[in-house]
Chains A and B, each alone.
Chain A
Amino acid sequence: MERTGRQHFVRLFSYTTRYFWLLLIPLARSLYSMSFDVDAFRVWIRGAWLDLLVLLVIICFAWIRWMSVRFAFDSEKIILRRGIYVNSEDTVYYSQITTLSIKQGFLYRLLGASKVHIATNAGNFDRADVTITMRRADADRFYSAVKGSRQKSLNYSISPNKLRLLLFSVLFSSALSGVLIIVALLLETGEIFDREVEAKLLFDTLTEAVNIASVYVPPIISLIIIVLVGAWSLSFVNNLIVYWGFVLTKCADSLYVKSGIWTKNRHILLRSRINYIDIKQSFTSKVFNVSSLHVHCAGYGSTGRNEMTVVLPITTRKEVNGAVEEVFPEYPRPKVELKTNPRSYGGFFFWPIVFAIIPVCGFVLIYHFLPDWYVVAYPAVAITVIPAVWLALCKTLSMFITGIGMSGDYITMRYSKMFTFHTIVAPKDRIAKVIIRQSPFQRISGACSAAIYTSSDSKVRHYIYGLRLDRALAFFEKNGFDLYYTENPK
């Protein structure tokens, strides 16, 4: 039976311009500054009529836009109609949906709304093809309709142990990801609030915290500790909010993912459309042999801030391997044949050295030319050099694990990208392009780097640094990627 409807009313607010509510502030202030009698109200109307008119027009346009979007779905497809004068109609069959994501943030839960993202493999960009805000009941019906169209045999279900999740979140939440969350939050709120005011607020709070802490430890040390602890705490809380109640269920043709504590997220992924699986680890999680399992397919992990492509949050490597065997039985165990060339080891430290040198050079310049800023520059250098040292550590480990392997119809790639270690397993037919690149230094040492692009609606590149050129060419030729031609000994 077909179900039709309009989007949830909350969508109306996102159709108004982002800054429209700023108009309300001067209006409310001027109204408040007058005594609330009829004459004062008349004076207020006379002064504020243009602002009120603009406000009304904005709301009217938003309402027209909201009214113009309608949806209808049945047991095999969803139809989205947009427009009043010029009409457009999108029809998406459930069999073509690669990823269906239904998300309920905290506010949306209170208002009974759900955001629905539908992604197929036809998208031009790395985002959902259709995004609509439905009433919760409609979203639930739609979820059931899509679920009903998929094969029903239940094969496997896994939910991470909550105590272990809590423990691993404590141990492996990183200050860096906390900093990234803070930056994302600042950028997002900075679009609404004045960025200078925001920076001042942050600076004042930090100064106050440093002043309190400096009773016990020197101010520089307390600043570093506060920044690191604050960022780490945010990352920890974020991990818990996102991964608490995480359940992965595998059926014959689909994966079902549910997660969230205050926010509720549900995803349905079509297994045949998964481009690759990615076992991710940080430096510390690698040392303690824990990891998280991610998948890459269109629309998954690209529908909002803090969105992840995870299908199994941080847990023991043994559990991840078990999940891979159960959920992706056709994928072989990662095995690396082509490893890094010892002559290329130096190159792994290029970026850590660059990242360390830049702040030190800046500090030397400030020390000589702006000696008054020494007090600020010193902790700033200390904070910026720490990631460079950490990156050097990651790269040291990376030298010994980087490599490529191919078995049967699958390719395995192991490499590190900044602070994260990746183990990728992808079907060979998902390789879009292979590039072998040589820098002038690599030409001297006979080394090269391989960039492997996998199928995706955006560019996804796996960069494997420091291979031996002759071995890399022979390896790729053996596996059906002939990059020799002129140099081919045959």
Chain B
Amino acid sequence: MRKYTLKPAALYIMSGALFILAALVTLLAVQYLVSVKILMYSVIALFCVTAVLLGLILLPMYFRRTVIYISPYEITVHSGLIFLRRDHMKMSAVQYVTRVSLPLSGFSGFNFVILRALGGSIVLPFLNSVDADEIVETVHLEISKRQ
């Protein structure tokens, strides 16, 4: 059995992007909504609160809580923020694997592996490139053993 966690770089990038977006919206609001003060403050507050909530609390919690366990027999993912969940899939149920990698995913951790079974799928998000390769290889090996 092998334990995988999510790559923190993806968290830093998303949190950073959120704060940059909030700062940009604040600048635009100050520039263009100054005549409607109440609207300006509302927009700034909404974006700043969302950025802080997501970037400093929810996303770090999600990254900390998400753990992937893969053995030759099963795949289990523990995740969730408000609703905690454990997803379990037997290796024998997996039909095929989809790997999605965004540009610069080796650095950013935007690698996703989707394990597809007849009637359900499990998404393994924000993986290290090496981990994603290893997972895909493990699952392919198990599928080929069935032939």
A binding-site residues for B, Cβ under 8 Å = 121, 429, 431-440, 443, 453-460, 476, 480-483, 485-486
B58 an interface residue at 8 Å Cβ cutoff?
A: no
Assess the B74–A436 pair: CB atoms within 8 A.
Answer: no
Contact of A431 among B69, B82, B90 (CB under 8 A): B90
Assess the B67–A486 pair: CB atoms within 8 A.
Answer: yes
B42 an interface residue at 8 Å Cβ cutoff?
A: no
Assess the A456–B119 pair: CB atoms within 8 A.
Answer: yes
Min CB gap B5→A, angstroms: 12
Which chain B residues lie closer than 8 Å to A482 at the CB level? 74, 76, 88
Assess the A453–B120 pair: CB atoms within 8 A.
Answer: yes
Q: What are 29 residue pairs bridging A and B, where the CB atoms are less than 8 Å apart in the complex?
A: A121-B118, A429-B92, A431-B90, A432-B93, A432-B117, A432-B119, A433-B93, A433-B117, A433-B120, A436-B86, A436-B88, A437-B85, A438-B80, A443-B84, A453-B117, A455-B118, A455-B119, A456-B119, A459-B119, A460-B119, A476-B88, A481-B74, A482-B88, A483-B76, A483-B86, A483-B88, A485-B3, A485-B67, A485-B78
B23 an interface residue at 8 Å Cβ cutoff?
A: no
Contact of A485 among B69, B93, B118, B121 (CB under 8 A): B69
Which chain B residues lie closer than 8 Å to A485 at the CB level? 1, 3, 67, 69, 76, 78
Assess the A433–B119 pair: CB atoms within 8 A.
Answer: yes
Which chain A residues lie closer than 8 Å to B67 at the CB level? 485-486
B87 an interface residue at 8 Å Cβ cutoff?
A: yes
Task: Tell me, in angstroms, the Cα distance from A433 to B77 when the chains sit together.
Answer: 11
Assess the B120–A438 pair: CB atoms within 8 A.
Answer: no
B83 an interface residue at 8 Å Cβ cutoff?
A: yes
Assess the B78–A486 pair: CB atoms within 8 A.
Answer: yes
Q: Look across to chain A and name the residue whose beta carbon is closest to the beta carbon of B92.
A: A429
Supplied contacts A436-B86, A438-B84, A476-B88, 5 more A-B pairs, CB within 8 Å: A432-B117, A432-B120, A435-B86, A485-B3, A485-B67
Task: Tell me, in angstroms, the Cα distance from A460 to B118 when the chains sit together.
Answer: 10
Which chain B residues lie closer than 8 Å to A434 at the CB level? 87-89
Task: Tell me, in angstroms, the Cα distance from A179 to B83 when the chains sit together.
Answer: 34
Task: Tell me, in angstroms, the Cα distance from A433 to B74 when the chains sit together.
Answer: 10
B136 an interface residue at 8 Å Cβ cutoff?
A: no
Assess the A439–B83 pair: CB atoms within 8 A.
Answer: yes
Task: Tell me, in angstroms, the Cα distance from A36 to B3 when the chains sit together.
Answer: 86
Assess the A432–B118 pair: CB atoms within 8 A.
Answer: yes
Which chain A residues lie closer than 8 Å to B82 at the CB level? 439-440
Which chain A residues lie closer than 8 Å to B88 at the CB level? 433-436, 476, 481-483
B122 an interface residue at 8 Å Cβ cutoff?
A: yes
Task: Tell me, in angstroms, the Cα distance from A456 to B121 when the chains sit together.
Answer: 12
The 9 closest A-B pairs by CB, nearest first: A433-B120, A453-B120, A432-B119, A432-B120, A432-B117, A456-B119, A434-B88, A437-B85, A455-B118
Which chain A residues lie closer than 8 Å to B85 at the CB level? 435-438
Task: Tell me, in angstroms, the Cα distance from A222 to B120 when the chains sit together.
Answer: 48
Assess the A454–B83 pair: CB atoms within 8 A.
Answer: no
Assess the A438–B83 pair: CB atoms within 8 A.
Answer: yes
Task: Tell me, in angstroms, the Cα distance from A459 to B67 when the chains sit together.
Answer: 24
Task: Tell me, in angstroms, the Cα distance from A285 to B82 when the chains sit together.
Answer: 38
Task: Tell me, in angstroms, the Cα distance from A432 to B92 when the chains sit together.
Answer: 9
Assess the B89–A433 pair: CB atoms within 8 A.
Answer: yes
Assess the A433–B76 pair: CB atoms within 8 A.
Answer: no
Which chain A residues lie closer than 8 Å to B86 at the CB level? 435-437, 483
Min CB gap A387→B, angstroms: 27
Q: Look across to chain B and name the residue whose beta carbon is closest to the beta carbon of A275.
A: B119
Which chain A residues lie closer than 8 Å to B120 at the CB level? 432-433, 453, 459
Which chain B residues lie closer than 8 Å to A476 at the CB level? 88
Min CB gap A460→B, angstroms: 6
Task: Tell me, in angstroms, the Cα distance from A352 to B112 when the chains sit together.
Answer: 39
Which chain A residues lie closer than 8 Å to B89 at the CB level? 432-434
Task: Tell me, in angstroms, the Cα distance from A438 to B86 when the chains sit together.
Answer: 9
Which chain A residues lie closer than 8 Å to B80 at the CB level? 437-438
Task: Tell me, in angstroms, the Cα distance from A435 to B76 when the chains sit together.
Answer: 9
B:41-96 near A, CB below 8 Å: 67, 69, 74, 76, 78, 80, 82-90, 92-93
Task: Tell me, in angstroms, the Cα distance from A476 to B92 when the chains sit together.
Answer: 17
Min CB gap B19→A, angstroms: 28
Assess the A437–B84 pair: CB atoms within 8 A.
Answer: yes
Task: Tell me, in angstroms, the Cα distance from A480 to B92 when the chains sit together.
Answer: 12
Task: Tell me, in angstroms, the Cα distance from A324 to B3 when the chains sit together.
Answer: 43
Which chain B residues lie closer than 8 Å to A436 at the CB level? 85-86, 88
Task: Tell me, in angstroms, the Cα distance from A435 to B1 when the chains sit together.
Answer: 19
Q: Look across to chain A and name the residue whose beta carbon is closest to the beta carbon of B93.
A: A432
Which chain A residues lie closer than 8 Å to B76 at the CB level? 482-483, 485
Assess the A453–B119 pair: CB atoms within 8 A.
Answer: yes
